[in-house]
Amino acid sequence: MRAARNGVKRIGWGRGKRCYSHRKVVVKDYNKVKVHIVPILQDNYSYILHDTTSNTASLIDPAEPEPVLQVLKDNSLKLDSILCTHHHNDHSGGNQHILSTYPHLKIYGADARIPGLNHIVQHESLFHVGSIHIQVLFTPCHTKGHVLFL
């Protein structure tokens, strides 16, 4: 274990490279929108987009369902949708489990390989999460069907 930097413990990761452990949910507050940054798996994150006006939330890339569902429960958030950037399991692996708990959930994405996908988006598609306006940008770099949600 290495010295802490900004309150995060550094751990070694082969040939002088470093990674930072992640165990704590961080919340960023942007006026009427909160973003809950949820550590998942060993080295990944899922995000909860929270419209504080309507108390509505959307999960972004919930590969591991339990941690994000716990944050929803702890904060009494109303789950509206999942925004899935691409089909890889470390981003979409929790979709089916969450959909089984919330059968009317909207799952947005651009790639038919995304588990549970029921709202296909295209470049510059527009939709809302509560009162938050979301725009889709098609960014086929990491995968053929990769998108960003702005």
Q: How far apart are CA 72 and CA 58, in angstroms?
A: 10
63, 123, 127, 144 from 140: Cα distances, Å: 20, 11, 20, 5
Q: What are the pLDDT digits (tens) for 2-48?
A: 444 444 444 444 444 444 456 789 999 999 999 999 999 988 999 99
Cβ atoms of residues 118 and 126 within 8 Å: no
CA dihedral 26, 30, 44, 99 (to 10 degrees): 100
The pLDDT confidence band at residue 50, using thresholds 50, 70 and 90, is very high
Largest CA distance in the chain: 48
- pLDDT attached to residue 22: 63
| Stretch 126-134: mean pLDDT | 96
